[in-house]
Chain A
């Protein structure tokens, strides 16, 4: 993955992923390296593998919604970054489309790029904090 800061106000980055980069992991490392805590981003590209999640309210965990071990278009990746116990936490959702245009969507668990993924990220000076929500069992942004 290569990245470049393209704007100071608001602080804006372009991240370009390459073949075999795993988006969720690389983005998490980038967020930690840049100390991001109030960011939003969107991306498009294409993937050779995607694992998508669905939040199960009964178990309070993400179920594996579907695994696509094939070439798919990354039609929409939208997400944000907030701090949980001082550490950036990336939250992203994706829509992917197969060779016949059928779309699948879910919480981003794993996405392997092929050949590219172009992501624009805007960071704000004020950070967002996440706290564990006992009702849902996951950390939610608290203002």
Chain B
């Protein structure tokens, strides 16, 4: 997913392909408006005409909001240095598996921090669970048709109810894969693939680092990097 280099150009062209989408709603909106005025003239039902125009505009505006910026390519690089307060404690230095507590604080972006942890501690294979809370996040839903993540913006204070994920290697570099369920003030939940999570006030990640490296390979069918247990 992250840190892919050779696929970047290809994905760039995919993004360019979607750039033309927002133009269509504008034309549709105009057509819809003209059609609605024709209705008014023909049937002289002004109120119905006004309602149709409003419905048309509203639905077209809703459609045009689904633009290219709402999608993220799986290969999008993870920004570094976004979790300056992150702290790491080795809990169990034992063999074969090591345990770490990675704790994030107010303002840290946890996904970037987890990658930083993996790089600094030379993690080649790990799994983790986490709980905490955040103020703002970007979650994703993988759209198999577009081979991109549709972004799910999470605004405001939310509990991180369940975060789980793993770390594996792609071309020698660690890649973090995490999912989370978050809950708002009424307990209703939203969930998705973690793209960014802004911690508030803390996120407690318990990581088990396993001794045998897990390798990922690029999957052209999905444009994702997938764990391949056969790779050594």
The chain A residues found within 8 Å of chain B, CB to CB, are 9-10, 38, 40, 42, 52-57, 63, 65-66, 76, 78-80, 91-95, 103-107, 122, 124-126, 128, 133, 135-136, 138, 140-143
Please count how many residues in chain B sit with their CB below 8 Å of the partner chain's CB atoms: 40
Q: What residues of B have a CB within 8 angstroms of the CB of A103 in the complex?
A: 181, 189, 191
- Are B184 and A54 touching (Cβ within 8 A)? yes
A93/B206 contact (C-beta < 8 A), A78-B131, A135-B201, A140-B103 known: no
- Are B92 and A124 touching (Cβ within 8 A)? yes
Whole-angstrom distance between the Cβ of B104 and the nearest chain A Cβ: 10
Q: Which of A57, A79, A105 contacts B182 (CB 8 A)?
A: A105
- Known pairs A55-B159, A106-B187, A141-B202; list 4 more (Cβ under 8 Å): A105-B162, A124-B91, A140-B201, A143-B101
- Are A10 and B201 touching (Cβ within 8 A)? no
Q: Which of A10, A57, A91, A95 contacts B181 (CB 8 A)?
A: A95
Among B79-117, those with CB < 8 Å from A are 87-92, 94, 97, 99, 101, 103, 105-106
Q: Which of A42, A135, A142 contacts B129 (CB 8 A)?
A: A42
Q: What residues of A have a CB within 8 angstroms of the CB of B189 in the complex?
A: 95, 103-105
Main secondary structure of the interface of A (DSSP, over half): strand
Q: Mark B138-171, 1 if CB is under 8 A from A, else 0.
A: 0000000000000000000101111110000000
Specify the chain A residue showing the minimal Cβ separation from B161: A105
Q: What residues of A have a CB within 8 angstroms of the CB of B200 in the complex?
A: 57, 136
Whole-angstrom distance between the Cβ of B170 and the nearest chain A Cβ: 27
A138 to B200 alpha-carbon distance, docked (Å): 12
Output the residue of B91, B129, B130, B191 with the most chain A CB within 10 A.
Answer: B91
